[in-house]
A and B are shown apart, each in its own frame.
Chain A
């Protein structure tokens, strides 16, 4: 599988980013809107149901991962067709140089393995789409490929961000 990196095809939904963003944290952001509220003004934004337990699993492992939306304002969309083969994850962070980015994506893949009965290796070969909003630079990146390829691409982007940081 090859990886596709798109810097111009996606922007975070209105209101999806955290109101205040801490430098050393990664935030899970909602990537879905309701289909029926368009005429009633600002559409509601939703997390997909498969990220509901992700920050909790991260907490257990000491990862600084949080929801971008505060408690009481988070809504999860559950859809009951069989699972789309492509799982999607939206993340926001100050800089892609964050050491937690790749661990977060790896944890998301592991959760899929647990939920659906795959081995970790099998889960890494399933298609994955990760949206990353880097707030420091305003770059919004969409990465799509197998889990393994997405992680490899993130490593490259992370290395670039670290280089950029050193050059500043």
Chain B
């Protein structure tokens, strides 16, 4: 690969549903609530994995190192050591049991990453950090952390350690109208107060959807008056731009996958073949990280453990 296109990302920008509070005490409560819930899910799912493993769990490789290690060699040595331990452990586990464990450990990883995104300015931030390492350690040990090769010639990773330690989010700039759910006018031009309840007569629109619940099949009868909460529904949404921001309003508007620079090793057909077959793995989950990249210098390439990709991946083969 001589054509270098720089770092590329896939990201989540917006989510369906109510817009999260923009700031202040409402936002603090929102982040606290969803952060704690995500952390709990991460723990519950991890516990489920341990329960499935039963007595084997006692022999599982231990995450017995400090989570942050700045010395590259020390970090790499731990990764190698743990990879060997996991290979030995994994060979003792039946495929059926692995199949049962997999959805739970993936859920644990994803919930832990969500928890950090909600709790990044919260006293529980380090708990979320620990939950990511713990779940990613097991997920990598049992199921790998593949670096994939795509038709675009790039290598890609969704490594939870690499992705979650880049503390960056995305903010869409949208121009949109909001329509009142009660009268259909623009919210700024009608007199309905959002979140207040108003009587509304049920009807069917041109697509056969109920004007009360927006479903095609429901119990609302045409002509029936129902008390309905007023809410603002976006329409004519136009995207202006997307910005990288330190703190996105949607806490989960983050990078979900990024291109992975393997350097010269990436040009080796054997490496590309391994990536295509799903057997080229990242070891970032198996050892300590370099701490968070708070993006204060906006140097995306200095993200945790992505600086020595070439050396790591040659070793993997």
Q: Decide if B249 touches A36 in the complex (CB within 8 Å).
A: no
Contact with B along A42-83 (1 / 0, CB 8 A): 000010001011011001100000010001001111111111
- Asked whether, in the complex, the Cβ of A118 is within 8 Å of the Cβ of B188, the reply is no
In the complex formed, the residue of B with least CB distance to A84 is: B23
Residue A2 is within 8 A (CB to CB) of chain B in the complex: no
A36-B240, A80-B171 in contact; A53/B187 too (CB < 8 A)? yes
Mask for B180-192, Cβ within 8 A of A = 1, else 0?
Answer: 0000001111110
Q: Does B245 contact A (CB under 8 A)?
A: yes
The smallest beta-carbon distance between A3 and chain B, in angstroms, is 22
Q: Does B25 contact A (CB under 8 A)?
A: yes
* B interface residues, how many (CB within 8 angstroms): 39
- Assembled-state Cα–Cα distance A59/B249 (Å): 29
With beta carbons under 8 angstroms apart, the residue of B24, B241, B243 that contacts A116 is: B24
Chain A positions within 8 Å of B253 at CB level: 80
Q: Is B278 at the interface (CB under 8 A from chain A)?
A: no
Are A117 and B26 interface neighbours, CB within 8 A? yes
Q: A55 CA to B188 CA in the complex, in Å?
A: 7
Bound CA span A157–B193, Å: 33
In the bound complex, do residue A82 and residue B240 qualify as a contact, i.e. CB atoms below 8 Å apart?
no
Which partner residue on chain B sits nearest A82 by CB separation?
B247
Give residues 1-34 of B contacting A (CB, 8 Å).
13-14, 19, 21-27, 29
Query: Which partner residue on chain B sits nearest A85 by CB separation?
Result: B23
B248 and A82 contacting across the interface, CB-CB below 8 Å: yes
Q: Is B248's CB under 8 angstroms from A78's CB?
A: no
A34 interface contact, C-beta 8 A: yes
B176 within 8 A of A: yes
Q: Are B191 and A52 in contact (CB under 8 A)?
A: no
Q: Is B130 an interface residue (CB 8 A)?
A: no
> From residue 246 to 281 of chain B, which have CB atoms closer than 8 A to chain A?
246-250, 253
Task: Identify the closest chain A residue to B237 (Cβ).
Answer: A78
Q: Are B21 and A117 in contact (CB under 8 A)?
A: yes
The CA of A147 and the CA of B237, in the complex, are separated in Å by 32
| In the complex, chain A residues 70-118 whose Cβ is within 8 Å of any chain B Cβ | 71, 74-83, 85, 112, 115-118
User: Nearest Cβ in chain A — how far from B238, in angstroms?
Assistant: 9
Given A34-B240, A35-B241, A115-B21, A78 contacting B174 (CB threshold 8 A): yes
8 pairs, A vs B, C-beta closer than 8 Å? A35-B240, A56-B189, A71-B189, A77-B173, A78-B176, A80-B14, A80-B170, A81-B249
B173 x A79 contact (CB < 8 A): yes
The CA-CA distance from A34 to B173 in the complex, in Å, is 9
Please encode chain B, from 40 to 57, with 1 for each CB lying within 8 Å of some chain A CB and 0 for all others: 000000000000000000
**Interface membership of B78, Cβ < 8 A:** no
Q: Considering only CB atoms, which chain B residue lies closest to A47 in the complex?
A: B188
Q: Which residue of B lies closest to A79 (CB)?
A: B173
- Is A82 a contact partner of B187 (Cβ separation < 8 A)? no
Q: How far is the CA of A34 from the CA of B248 in the complex (A)?
A: 20
Contacts of A34 in B (CB 8 A): 240
Q: Is the pair A116, B188 in contact by a Cβ cutoff of 8 Å?
A: no
Query: B172 at the A/B interface (Cβ < 8 Å)?
Result: yes
Q: CB-nearest residue of chain B relative to A55?
A: B188
**B24, A81: Cβ atoms under 8 Å?**
no
- Which of A53, A71, A80, A83 contacts B23, CB < 8 Å? A83
Distance between Cα atoms of A116 and B29 in the complex (Å) = 10
Instruction: Identify B22's interface contact among A71, A75, A83, CB under 8 A.
Output: A83
In the assembled complex, the CB of B57 is this many whole angstroms from the nearest CB of chain A, namely: 40
A80 touches B250 (CB 8 A): yes
Whether A71 contacts B186 in the complex (CB less than 8 A), given A115-B26, A116-B24, comes out as yes
**How far is A35 from B173 in the complex, measured between Cα atoms in Å?**
10
**In the complex, which of the residues A52, A81, A85, A117 contacts B171, with contact meaning CB atoms closer than 8 Å?**
A81
B249, A116: Cβ atoms under 8 Å?
no
Q: A40 CA to B25 CA in the complex, in Å?
A: 41
Q: Which B residues are in CB contact (< 8 Å) with A50?
A: 22
Q: When chains A and B are docked, how far (Å) is the Cα of A83 from the Cα of B28?
A: 12
